[in-house]
Amino acid sequence: MDNQFVINQEGNTLTIVLGDQLTTGNAPALMEELNGYKGKGIEKVVFDATKLAYIASSGIRTIIFAKQKLGGNPVIEFVNCAADIRSVFEMTGLQNYISFVSK
């Protein structure tokens, strides 16, 4: 199962290409990686969720972490977010703070 992620920084935008799951098994590692970008002027965080089929609450914590802790209150964007995942965002009231983009 592809549970990995890849992070790319281009200018002030951080793009995170997610695997098929963001769970308790891999979300802490992503949060740790994101921690390395703290205070580096990130203005936008793009989660490429094209392959993502499942997100647990630990994955949602990672998104809140990106918004709160990177500094500079970055814009959060989700690319190709599946309906099940979007409904979890709606339950937790996050949908108003995420830009959803289809590509």
Partner 1 sequence: MKELVFKPIAGRTEEIIDAILQTGEVASCTKELYAIHLVCEELVVNVVSYAYPEGVEGYLKIQIEKADGCITLKFIDGGVPFNPLERDMPDVSLPLEERQIGGLGIFLTVQMMDNVSYEHVGNENILTIKKKIDDEK
Binding site for partner 1 (CB under 8 A): 23-25, 54, 56-58, 60-61, 64-65, 67-68, 73, 76, 84, 88, 91-94, 97
| Euclidean distance between CA atoms 45 and 42, whole angstroms | 7
Q: Which residues of 45-55 are buried (b: 16+ CB within 10 A; e: fewer)?
A: bbbbbeebeeb
Choose between 8 and 57: whose C-beta lies nearer to partner 1: 57
Choose between 44 and 67: whose C-beta lies nearer to partner 1: 67
Choose between 97 and 100: whose C-beta lies nearer to partner 1: 97
CB of 93: closest distance to partner 1 in angstroms?
A: 4
| Euclidean distance between CA atoms 21 and 4, whole angstroms | 8
Query: Which amino acid is residue 91, in one-letter code?
Result: M
